[in-house]
Amino acid sequence: GAVVSQHPSRVICKSGTSVKIECRSLDFQATTMFWYRQFPKQSLMLMATSNEGSKATYEQGVEKDKFLINHASLTLSTLTVTSAHPEDSSFYICSATPGQLVGYTFGSGTRLTVV
Amino acid sequence: DAKTTQPPSMDCAEGRAANLPCNHSTISGNEYVYWYRQIHSQGPQYIIHGLKNNETNEMASLIITEDRKSSTLILPHATLRDTAVYYCIVRGYNTDKLIFGTGTRLQVFP
């Protein structure tokens, strides 16, 4: 089945630094990937749609300069949280699908803690 | 995409069937119903999806009413490992996005 790998699974960083999270489709190509954020006891919130070879599309209220997305190949999308602050501490999850109307596969998530 | 409504929580005894309802009364003709679940601190897991016919796979069954305004996910023999938050999502044919609602927290007890 389709597998999406996300790395790192946990990261702790100092306030003001940047953190990069990788999302890879291991056995399929994905022209589109999605990034979500989830706070404790809340549902997943879609942040942005990552498009291979073009700019990401951000959901309303998500700062594109703070959450930089790069989708340079058909199997890799990265999310960089720039100048991280404690309020950015959250669970970040990516997803992708090998085809239209097939179930989306999600990564295992990245727990970001900003201290 | 149509909005979905799910009960916030449900309990189910181990070995019994778990029936999770979802209301999507504003669903349109080309929108699919997807079910995912999320076990604590993991990424969501795909369960099943359907358009208008009932669907079954190795994990669950999906029953969609004839008017498509509601559906039920059935886990035929719930186990403790089925304890999770279950999300019902309506997704349009022309969109790639999956928008999550609040889901149902299913607790399976011994």
Residue A103 has pLDDT above 90, yes or no: no
CA distance A41 to chain B (A): 10
Q: Which residue has the tokens 């951000």?
A: A58
Task: Compute the average pLDDT of residues A33-51.
Answer: 94
β-strand B55-56 against B61-64: which pairing, if any? antiparallel
pLDDT over threshold 80, residue A32: yes
Residues of A in contact with B89 (CB under 8 A): none
Residue B103 touches partner A, C-beta closer than 8 Å: yes
Q: In angstroms, rounded to a whole number, what is the distance separating the alpha carbons of residues B20 and B15?
A: 15
Q: B-chain residues within 8 Å CB-CB of A49?
A: 96-97
A72-86, A100-114, B47-61, B79-93 — which is least confidently predicted?
A100-114
Which pLDDT value is given to residue A38?
96
* Tokens read off for B76: 């035929």
Q: Does A101 have pLDDT greater than 70? A: no
Beta bridge partners of A92: A37, A110
pLDDT per residue as tens digits for the range B47-95:
999 999 999 999 999 999 999 999 999 999 999 999 999 999 998 767 7
* Among the partner residues A32, A34, A43, nearest to B103 by beta-carbon distance: A43
Q: Please give the interface size between A and B, counted as residue pairs whose CB atoms are below 8 Å apart.
A: 51
A27 has pLDDT over 80: yes
Please check whether residue B96 touches A, CB under 8 A.
yes
Q: Quick one: pLDDT band at residue A72, thresholds 50, 70, 90?
A: confident
What are the φ and ψ backbone dihedral angles of A67, each rounded to 5 degrees?
A: -115, 90
